[in-house]
Chain A
Amino acid sequence: MNLLGKLDWNAIPLHEPIIMGATAFMVLVVLVVLGFVTAKGAWLYLWREWLTSVDHKRIGAMYCILALVMMLRGFSDAIMIRAQQALAAGGAEGYLPPEHFNQIFSAHGTIMILFMAMPFVVGLMNFAVPLQLGVRDVAFPTLNSVSFWLTASGALLVNISLAVGEFSKATWWGYPPLSELQYSPGVGVDYYLWSLQISGLGTLLAGINFVTTILKMRAPGMSYMRMPVFCWTALAANLLIVAAFPVLTATLAMLALDRYLGFHFFTLEGQGNQMLYSNLFWVWGHPEVYILILPAFGVFSEVMATFSGKPLFGYRSMVAATMAICILSFLVWLHHFFTMGASANVNGFFGVMSMIIALPTGAKVFNWLFTMYGGRVRFSVPVLWSIGFMVTFVIGGMTGVLMAVPPADFQLHNSVFLVAHFHNVAIGGVVFGVMAGYNYWFPKVFGFKLDERWGKASFWCWFVGFYVAFMPLYVLGLMGMTRRMQHYDNLSWQPWLIAAAFGTAIILVGVVCQVVQLVVSIRNREKLRDVTGDPWNGRTLEWATASPPPAWNFAFQPKVAGLDAFWSGKNRAQATKDEPTPTRKYEPVEMPKNSATGFVTAFFAVVIGFALIWHIWWLASVGVFGAFMTLLAFSFRRHSEIEVPAEQIARFERAHQAGVAA
Chain B
Amino acid sequence: MNVAVAIDQIPQDALPSASEAGPAPKRIVVAYGFWIFLLSDIIMFAALFASYAVLVRSTAGGPTGAQLFNQATVAIETACLLVSSYTCGLMSLALNSRRRLGTYLGALITFALGATFLSLEMREFSNMIAIGATPQRSAFLSAFFTLVGCHGLHVALGLIWLIVMMVQVAVFGFAARVQRRLLCFSLFWHALDIVWVGVFTVVYLMGVSL
Contact = CB atoms under 8 A, between A and B. Distances in A.
Contacts of B7: 541, 544, 558-560, 565-566, 568-569, 572
B75 interface: no
B4 A554 contact: yes
11 contacts: A208-B33, A209-B33, A219-B22, A223-B19, A246-B44, A247-B46, A262-B135, A263-B136, A267-B139, A271-B59, A555-B4
Contact of B60 (A216, A222, A271, A558): A271
Q: Is the interface of B mostly helix, strand, loop or mixed?
A: helix
Interface stretch (A2-10, A45-53, A492-500, A579-587): A579-587
Nearest to A204: B40
B186 interface: no
Interface stretch (B48-56, B77-85, B111-119): B48-56
A308 interface: no
A101 B96 CA distance: 62
A579 B5 CA distance: 12
Nearest to B4: A544
A267 B58 CA distance: 12
Contact of B24 (A217, A558, A577): A217
B139 A264 contact: yes
Contacts of A215: 32
Contact of B3 (A250, A271, A544): A544
B14 interface: no
A264 B136 contact: yes
A558 B6 contact: no
Interface string B29-54: 11011001101110110111011001
A577 B24 CA distance: 34
Interface in A212-228: 212, 215-224
A650 to B, nearest CB: 13
Contacts of A140: 30, 33
A657 interface: yes
Contacts of A341: none
Query: What are the 8 tightest A-B residue pairs by CB atom distance, in nearest-first order?
Result: A271-B58, A220-B22, A246-B44, A569-B7, A250-B47, A263-B142, A573-B6, A212-B33
Nearest to A263: B142
Contacts of B146: 253-254, 257, 263, 265
Contacts of B13: 221
Nearest to B134: A262
Given A250-B51, A273-B58, A570 B138 contact: no
Interface size class of A (residues with CB under 8 A): 35 or more
Interface string A545-584: 0000000001111111110011011101100110111101
Contacts of B48: 250
Given A243-B40, A249-B44, A212 B32 contact: yes
Contacts of B33: 139-140, 208-209, 211-212, 216
B55 A561 contact: no
Given A273-B139, A280-B50, A573-B1, A223 B20 contact: yes
A600 to B, nearest CB: 18
- B4, B23, B46, B140 interface centre (most CB from chain A within 10 Å): B4
Contacts of A632: 164
B12 A657 contact: no
Contacts, number: 196
Interface residues of B, number: 59
A377 interface: no
A562 B119 CA distance: 58
A314 interface: no
B54 A247 contact: no
A131 interface: no
Interface string A198-241: 00000010011101100111111111100000000000000000
Interface string A628-662: 00001001100010000000000001000100100
A216 B32 contact: yes
A181 B185 CA distance: 39
A576 B6 contact: yes
Nearest to B142: A263
- B28, B29, B33 interface centre (most CB from chain A within 10 Å): B33
Nearest to A241: B40
B43 A212 contact: no
B54 A581 contact: no
Contact of A247 (B6, B36, B47, B58): B47
Interface in A246-288: 246-247, 249-251, 253-254, 257-258, 261-265, 267, 269-273, 276, 280, 283
Nearest to B48: A250
Given A250-B48, A273-B54, 9 more contacts: A139-B29, A216-B29, A223-B17, A224-B19, A250-B51, A265-B142, A555-B4, A568-B7, A653-B4
A352 interface: no
A118 interface: no
B209 to A, nearest CB: 22
A149 interface: no
Contact of B164 (A566, A582, A635): A635
A261 B3 contact: no
A135 interface: yes
A245 interface: yes
A210 to B, nearest CB: 10
A242 interface: yes
A247 B43 contact: yes
A429 to B, nearest CB: 26
B190 interface: no
B10 interface: yes
B137 interface: yes
B21 interface: yes
Contacts of B58: 264, 270-273
Contacts of B2: 573, 581, 657, 660
A569 B6 contact: yes
B40 A270 contact: no
Contacts of B41: 246
